[in-house]
């Protein structure tokens, strides 16, 4: 009790300074947007392939496509509900397309296709309107007449004897359509009607997505008779649900974490002022972390926030050290004896997480920045604000004495276990070396989607077969005409792949919107009336179809010669606009992208090697497989994080080496950390846990937290004795860390539980091992 308090003016100044900073942080946070999508886990500086992937994940059709199932009752009832629901959804204006298998979907489109058939038909070429070409085309048309397949063709026979409409329609038949039952799409497995809808709003606009989903639920409730159940799935549903889940989990974890740590502190200090003071650096740290991320990234990801609750457990350590250790000789003495150790621990932790800030992935970089600034904020609050509020530490006794005694007993007993512990460490290292496939996990492991939700999604996707567009050819060019021409070139290479069985089919915007060059070329092959009549006369000689009947054909060909070209503008507002918008996009930089989704042959996969081979040499044309691209991305992400974690760990060692200036002491400090990491990883390997990025982050945390413990034991050794207060503070600090990470370990969000499951046991091990391997005090009295 020897240290004098700061002069009142300084105290007021410090508090005002702190308050101003907290207010500024609060203001910044109030303006911050919080996100919960996958975007944080996509690279911020993507290569071209990744850029396509990110576009597709963010605004592509899959990201805004809802898969809807109607279960229950009988087929007729389901079909009526499907039609009623689809009508309501179309009327809402929220959806670009709503498909449920009704034929009327195509009624308007059909008339338009007939009108523009000579611009659209892939069969129109230089040969088509010669006598031989006409004969061949008419023969092909006749081959369908008098069969059920000819019933749509026959009414058009005199206008379209060459079957251009048939030719266009044929190319639009999907290779893999859903089953049709009672006039609407139905599941092949069970009693379920199916719908697919894409929203107008981008997939990343979660509020709009939530509104669209609410509309579907309300519309269904309004139209469906009792006994029917709605199933809703698709990427937008996952995104909206994840956000809700992350929000509720983060709130729950923050409350539970605060309560748990508070209870522990109350037990330890039996003093409310001590509790309030201990939570102050924690709150400061969390505020500092969020503010820094908000300033640095322009927004905060929900996962980062969830991570904030783990910071509670770590940041409270600083306060505990201060409250207990300054009790002995006041804050000035603490500043002299313990603060350098705390500061060094802070530096090592910052070093460890600083490496993550340079990650190319915003999610990881946010985590790094959040932790670094959070720890810094908490430590500074401890260093400057705590001495003002409680200059002599905490007066309360609580369980402190018991903790101290327990600590002393452990310090006496643990070193005897050195050899067994070392042996365990070696065994763990051997196990890890033997298991080559330790690091594995998918990007999906970061997302909080439940297994049931995934199963529902998979079953709806299987029912809808073609509805998911996971493989697509992406074609890009500076302007729309160039893009369409490249799409036509790509389509020409894809067509033979249908015959060879590599793909079942392909879609392209150029079926409705050919390039101007292609349209002009097709129209240039249309002959004037006189030569057309002459060719027709020759082509129909001896055939059953008389040329005289085909005057409407001659007239329509003449009209088509004068037709103005189909343009993107001319399609606006037509029934085709949504189809075109889904397949042709303009980027922010003005360039254009055409998407050619590939359909597999029923029950088979797309032969991507054959597709890539076929596309070779085409400029601006790439095959994008979303599933595989994501897996590659995650692998890169993991590799990068491993390097960064290693650099971070090296940084920790370097800082300690500089501070300790002794190889022997450095070794003594590093030994328990290495063992803690090895034993934690070995346990996870024994439990068959596949390690992913967040386990790696957790291990980094173990090193960062553990280095504090190891440094304290180093300090105790230097001081010549292990004083019960410092031991009590270490034990208490460790308990709060283990408990708050134990809480996170129970989270339903895989990203958070992965970190918790590593850090909770890892931190405990780090403390025990630090005690076990602490050098014997130099001079034992």
Q: Which residues would be at the binding site for another protein (CB under 8 A)? A: 139-140, 142-143, 145-148, 151, 154, 157, 170, 173-181, 183, 188, 465, 498-499, 504-505, 543-546, 549, 601-603
Decide: 173 and 498 in contact? Cβ < 8 Å. no
**Nearest in space to 319 (alpha carbons), one of 282, 344, 288, 284:** 282
Residue 295, classed as helix, strand or coil, is: helix
Q: Which is nearer to another protein, 103 or 559 (CB)?
A: 103
User: How near is the Cβ of 170 to another protein at its closest, in Å?
Assistant: 6
Residue 473, classed as helix, strand or coil, is: strand
Decide: 155 and 194 in contact? Cβ < 8 Å. no
Q: For the stretch 352-391, what's the b/e string if a residue is b when 16 or more beta carbons lie within 10 angstroms of its beta carbon?
A: bbbbbbebbbbbbbbbbbbbbbbbbbbbbbbbebbbbebb
User: How near is the Cβ of 142 to another protein at its closest, in Å?
Assistant: 6
- Give the tokens for residue 151: 């019933």
Handedness of CA 671, 677, 680, 681 (dihedral sign): negative
User: How near is the Cβ of 558 to another protein at its closest, in Å?
Assistant: 23
Q: Which is nearer to another protein, 141 or 740 (CB)?
A: 141
Q: Which is nearer to another protein, 270 or 601 (CB)?
A: 601
What DSSP state is assigned to residue 381? Answer: I
Distance CA 675, CA 696 (A): 16
User: How near is the Cβ of 748 to another protein at its closest, in Å?
Assistant: 38
On the 0-12 / 13-18 / 19+ scale of CB atoms within 10 A, 437 is exposed
User: How near is the Cβ of 554 to another protein at its closest, in Å?
Assistant: 17
Distance CA 745, CA 333 (A): 38
Q: Which is nearer to another protein, 107 or 263 (CB)?
A: 107
3-state SS track over 126-149 = CCCCCHHHHHHHHHHHHCCCCCHH
Q: Which is nearer to another protein, 104 or 688 (CB)?
A: 104
Q: Which is nearer to another protein, 129 or 637 (CB)?
A: 129
CB atoms within 10 A of CB 495: 15
Phi, psi (rounded to 5 degrees) for 225: -70, 165
Distance CA 109, CA 651 (A): 65
Q: Which is nearer to another protein, 91 or 604 (CB)?
A: 604
Decide: 618 and 318 in contact? Cβ < 8 Å. no
Q: Which is nearer to another protein, 4 or 147 (CB)?
A: 147
User: How near is the Cβ of 576 to another protein at its closest, in Å?
Assistant: 21
User: How near is the Cβ of 556 to another protein at its closest, in Å?
Assistant: 18
Q: Which is nearer to another protein, 179 or 470 (CB)?
A: 179
3-state SS track over 561-597 = HCCCCCCHHHHCCCCCHHHHHHHEEECCCCCEEEEEE
Residue 623, classed as helix, strand or coil, is: strand
User: How near is the Cβ of 614 to another protein at its closest, in Å?
Assistant: 16
Q: Which is nearer to another protein, 21 or 177 (CB)?
A: 177
Decide: 766 and 673 in contact? Cβ < 8 Å. yes
Q: Which is nearer to another protein, 465 or 476 (CB)?
A: 465
User: How near is the Cβ of 498 to another protein at its closest, in Å?
Assistant: 6
Distance CA 397, CA 525 (A): 98
Distance CA 331, CA 5 (A): 8
User: How near is the Cβ of 157 to another protein at its closest, in Å?
Assistant: 7
User: How near is the Cβ of 627 to another protein at its closest, in Å?
Assistant: 23
């Amino acid at each position: 009790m020897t240290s004098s308090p700061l002069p009142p003016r300084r105290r007021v100044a410090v508090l005002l300074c702190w308050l101003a900073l907290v207010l500024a942080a609060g203001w910044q946070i109030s303006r911050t947007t919080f996100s919960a999508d996958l975007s944080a886990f996509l690279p911020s500086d993507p290569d071209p392939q990744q850029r396509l992937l990110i576009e597709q994940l963010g605004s592509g059709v899959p990201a805004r496509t809802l898969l809807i199932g109607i279960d229950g009752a009988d087929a007729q009832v389901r079909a009526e509900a499907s039609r009623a629901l689809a009508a309501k959804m179309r009327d809402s204006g929220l959806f670009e397309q709503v498909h449920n298998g009704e034929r009327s979907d195509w009624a308007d489109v059909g008339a338009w296709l007939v009108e523009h058939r000579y611009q659209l038909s892939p069969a129109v070429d230089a040969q088509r309107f010669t006598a031989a070409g006409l004969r061949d085309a008419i023969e092909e048309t006749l081959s369908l007449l008098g069969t059920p397949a000819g019933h749509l063709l026959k009414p058009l026979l005199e206008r379209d004897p060459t079957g251009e409409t048939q030719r266009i329609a044929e190319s639009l038949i999907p290779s893999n359509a859903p089953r049709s039952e009672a006039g609407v799409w139905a599941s092949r497995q069970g009693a379920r009607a199916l719908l697919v809808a894409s929203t107008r709003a981008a997939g990343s606009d979660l509020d709009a997505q939530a509104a669209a989903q609410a509309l579907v639920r309300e519309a269904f409730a309004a139209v469906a008779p009792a006994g029917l159940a709605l199933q809703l799935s698709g990427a937008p549903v996952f995104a909206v649900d994840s956000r809700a889940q992350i929000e509720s989990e983060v709130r729950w974890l923050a409350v539970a974490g605060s309560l748990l740590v508070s209870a522990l502190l109350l037990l330890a200090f039996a003093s409310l002022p001590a509790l309030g003071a201990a939570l102050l650096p924690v709150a400061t740290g969390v505020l500092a972390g969020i503010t820094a991320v908000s300033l640095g990234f322009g927004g905060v990801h929900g996962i980062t926030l969830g991570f904030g609750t783990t910071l509670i457990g770590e940041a409270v350590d600083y306060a505990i050290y201060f409250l207990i250790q300054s009790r002995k000789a006041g804050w000035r003495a603490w500043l002299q004896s313990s603060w350098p150790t705390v500061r060094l621990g802070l530096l090592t932790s910052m070093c460890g997480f600083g490496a993550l800030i340079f990650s190319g992935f915003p999610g990881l970089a946010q985590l790094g920045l959040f932790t670094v600034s959070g720890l810094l904020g908490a430590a500074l609050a401890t260093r400057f604000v705590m001495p003002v509020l409680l200059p002599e530490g905490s007066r309360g006794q609580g369980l402190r004495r018991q903790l101290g005694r327990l600590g002393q007993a452990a310090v006496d007993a643990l070193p005897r276990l050195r050899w067994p512990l070392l042996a365990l460490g070696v065994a763990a290292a051997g196990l890890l070396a033997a298991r080559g496939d330790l690091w594995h996990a998918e990007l999906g492991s970061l997302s909080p989607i439940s297994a049931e939700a995934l199963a529902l999604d998979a079953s709806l996707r299987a029912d809808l077969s073609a509805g998911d567009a996971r493989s697509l050819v992406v074609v890009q060019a500076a302007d729309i005409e160039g893009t369409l021409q490249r799409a036509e070139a790509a389509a020409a290479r894809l067509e033979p792949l249908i015959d060879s069985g590599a793909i079942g089919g392909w879609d392209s915007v150029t079926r409705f919107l050919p390039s101007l060059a292609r349209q002009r070329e097709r129209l240039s092959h249309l002959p004037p009336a006189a030569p057309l009549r002459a060719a027709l006369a020759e082509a129909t000689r001896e055939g059953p179809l008389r040329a005289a009947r085909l005057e409407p054909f001659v007239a329509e060909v003449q009209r088509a010669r004068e037709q103005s070209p189909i343009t993107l503008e001319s399609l606006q507002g037509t029934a085709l606009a949504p189809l075109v918008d889904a397949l042709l996009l303009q980027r922010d930089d003005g360039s254009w992208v055409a998407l050619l989704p590939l359909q597999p042959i029923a029950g088979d996969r797309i032969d991507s090697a054959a597709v890539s081979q076929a596309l070779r040499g085409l400029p601006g044309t790439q095959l994008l497989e979303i599933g595989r691209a994501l897996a590659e991305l995650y692998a890169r992400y993991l590799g990068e994080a491993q390097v960064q974690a290693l650099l971070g760990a090296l940084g920790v060692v370097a800082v300690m080496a500089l501070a300790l200036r002794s190889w022997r002491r450095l070794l003594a400090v590093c030994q328990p950390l290495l063992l803690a990491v090895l034993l934690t990883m070995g346990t996870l390997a024994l439990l068959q846990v596949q390690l992913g990025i967040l386990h790696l982050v957790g291990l980094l945390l173990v090193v960062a937290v553990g280095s504090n413990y190891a440094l304290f034991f180093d300090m105790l050794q230097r001081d010549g004795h292990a004083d019960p207060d410092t031991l009590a503070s270490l034990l208490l600090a460790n308990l709060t860390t283990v408990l708050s990470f134990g809480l996170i370990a129970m989270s339903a969000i895989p990203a958070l539980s992965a970190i918790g499951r590593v850090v909770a046991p890892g931190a405990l091990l780090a403390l025990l091992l630090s005690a076990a391997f602490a050098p014997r005090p130099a001079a034992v009295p």
